[in-house]
Chain A
Amino acid sequence: MEVLSGLMHGFGVALDPINLLYCFIGVFIGTLVGVLPGIGPISAMSLLLPVTLSGTPEAGIIMMAGIYYGSMYGGSTTSILVNIPGEAASVVTCIDGHEMAKIGRAGPALGIAALGSFVAGTFAIVVLMLVAPTLAKVAVAFGPAEYFSLMVLGLTILSFLTQGSMAKALLMACVGVVIGLIGLDQITGFPRLTFDRLELVDGIGLVPVVMGLFGVTEILCNLEQQVRRDVVQSRIGSLWPDKADMKASAAPIARGTVLGFLLGILPGGGAVISSFASYALERRLSKTPGRFGKGAIEGVAGPEAANNAAAGGAFIPLLTLGIPPNVVMALLLGAFVVHNVQPGPLLMTQHPQVFWGVIASMYIGNIMLLVLNMPLIGMWVQVLKAPYRILFPLILMFCIVGVFASGNAVFDVFVMIGSGVAGYLMRKFGYEAAPLVLAFVLGPMLENNLRKSLILSHGSFEIFVTRPISLLCLLVAVLLLLAPLLPALRRKREKVALDVTD
């Protein structure tokens, strides 16, 4: 009842014309920066933060939040259309999303991504509203030992991600960890593998690596082909997901939503793990896993839902504890504080109009996003009709701009070019890029939390098995790794292997 009256109050705030306008501006800018690969919500939010100072706290925070979840919506567009993931979480969307685009199904792919995002986003808000304080406990239950075990679990996803040689995939994962570890050692502050280059002290950015490995590589591979192959076959099928698509996607969206929401609460790589995990899960559960990697709509629906639900889950520690689980949330925390509103346990009682106003505006914003994005799909698909010789220079330009804007450094542009060349050679020699990206994100967290755990336990490894959550994660990881050895499951995996090799 309290929730209901709070929500009514919130809608009163959110439906105020000024706040509606701010909400619209927010989701609009969010869609824009989401579609431009590389330019994430971070740069847009930090630069627009001062603009909101003139308005009320609700208005400013509503707009900032709008940019954030708006950008999550648009993130899949370039992944599907031109194989450029704007962020790590979109990498998995590329795998099947772009394949769908190649066989003329860009419309359904984009449509299901938007629908999945909408469902996941809305679900996340409902749960956020109902049980935020309870779930906040989950976020703080994760200490270094739990994170370590979660990262181990995350890395076992690798074994489900690979389509070719396992040795090569694991090698790529090692490379990913090594690249991810470049920079200052967080525990001692000592520079590692930086070769006295200051640009490397900060580590290598994820965005340039991902955009190089996928976006630039794709272009190079397309260009060298003798027969001109435009991005999409001339025949563009329907613009919308049909009934069969919807049916196939319903369960993946539901599973992705739950997975994403739970992992999103955790600070750190929650969104990335959840989208990879959702993909692995769908492939595992599928009756026809061989279709994955060749344009399976489940491989788009699940991860996209996970991605967006994670974005919603990330609000929980911020709103209820004042703990921002990622950089974007830290910015949002900043938006609260500059308006003299302190997110935390007292937010709901001290500033109900802000808390409920923001929640209600997220419902409205999600609907706005759906309305805004659906008509855009038709437009995006038209873009693919343009000849590739005109399209590819523009794609390259967007890659460069996005990478530069993400870190404001030309060095990053070179990292992207280098990754692009590396990715081209990797594709030639049959090495996959997805394991590298996953390990790049998880590896450094794995190492860091391992060392922190050992500091806490005074060097004893018992800490990983005596703590229940940590033990659970490790057990699941072991189970997943051993699963192929169990006879019943083995048959299935062999079938996968057969499907893949042909």
Chain B
Amino acid sequence: MIRRAELWGGLFWLAVGAFVAWQGWLLGLGTLHEPGSGFLFFWLGLVMCAFSVTIALAGMRGQGPELADLWRGARWGRVLLVIAALIVYGVAFEPLGFVPCTLALLLFLMTVVDPVPLKLSVPISAAAAVGVWYVLQKLLLIQLPHGTLFE
């Protein structure tokens, strides 16, 4: 039963629910007739706890898939690569500016994560990054980061 996905999912949400309820308590409950800032948080947290317990119990009774099954045969390495790339992108977005960042992201995704021949990936990345920048910045007047490092 310890391998059941439902058990772990339920336990996770139980922790979240408890945390929300605690935060609601800290914010102040008020009364039923004059609810305070934390009133809804507190009760929602408790309700979440209740649901997560039922989910976890279902898991303990051996229902639902096993944790390992969820990722059986999945190429989770690629998922991690994409997430990492996105985080790096987010960090570098403002210092480097839109075009260099986007170009780098697209090239990374098209050469490392799911390879495409260079003769395709390079022109596509360049056209997409510059094209989007042009449409937004010039036609729609939406501001994109231009890179504070280059100032």
Given A190-B37, A394-B106, A414-B90, A174 contacting B51 (CB threshold 8 A): yes
Closest to B8 in A: A429
Q: Is the beta-carbon distance between B23 and A193 smaller than 8 angstroms?
A: yes
Given A397-B102, A428-B70, A390 contacting B136 (CB threshold 8 A): no
| Smallest beta-carbon distance A413→chain B, Å | 5
Q: Is the beta-carbon distance between A192 and B90 smaller than 8 angstroms?
A: no
A 176-197 contacts with B by CB, 8 A:
177-178, 181, 185, 187-188, 190, 192-193
B29: Cβ under 8 A from any A Cβ:
no
Residues of B within 8 A of A428 (CB): 5, 70-71
Given A225-B75, A389-B114, A421-B83, A170 contacting B51 (CB threshold 8 A): yes
Residues of A within 8 A of B74 (CB): 224-226
Residues of B within 8 A of A424 (CB): 79
A 149-179 contacts with B by CB, 8 A:
165, 167-168, 170-171, 174-175, 177-178
For A47, give its contact among B37, B129, B141 (CB under 8 Å). Answer: B141
Q: Is the beta-carbon distance between A451 and B79 smaller than 8 angstroms?
A: no
Determine chain A's interface SS by DSSP, over half rule. helix
Residues of A within 8 A of B34 (CB): 454-455, 459
B 97-124 contacts with A by CB, 8 A:
98, 102, 105-106, 109-110, 113-116, 120-121, 124
Residues of B within 8 A of A225 (CB): 74-75
A316: Cβ under 8 A from any B Cβ:
no
B149: Cβ under 8 A from any A Cβ:
no
Q: Is the beta-carbon distance between A401 and B132 smaller than 8 angstroms?
A: yes
B 5-23 contacts with A by CB, 8 A:
5-6, 9, 13, 16-17, 20, 23
Q: Is the beta-carbon distance between A167 and B35 smaller than 8 angstroms?
A: no
Residues of A within 8 A of B87 (CB): 414, 417
For B79, give its contact among A220, A388, A450 (CB under 8 Å). Answer: A220
Q: Is the beta-carbon distance between A390 and B55 smaller than 8 angstroms?
A: no
Q: Is the beta-carbon distance between A450 and B35 smaller than 8 angstroms?
A: yes
| Smallest beta-carbon distance B45→chain A, Å | 8
Q: Is the beta-carbon distance between A430 and B64 smaller than 8 angstroms?
A: yes
How many Å lie between the Cα of A396 and that of B35 in the bound state? 42
Q: Is the beta-carbon distance between B55 and A167 smaller than 8 angstroms?
A: yes
B40: Cβ under 8 A from any A Cβ:
yes
Most chain A CB inside 10 Å of its own CB: which residue of B44, B70, B75, B115: B44
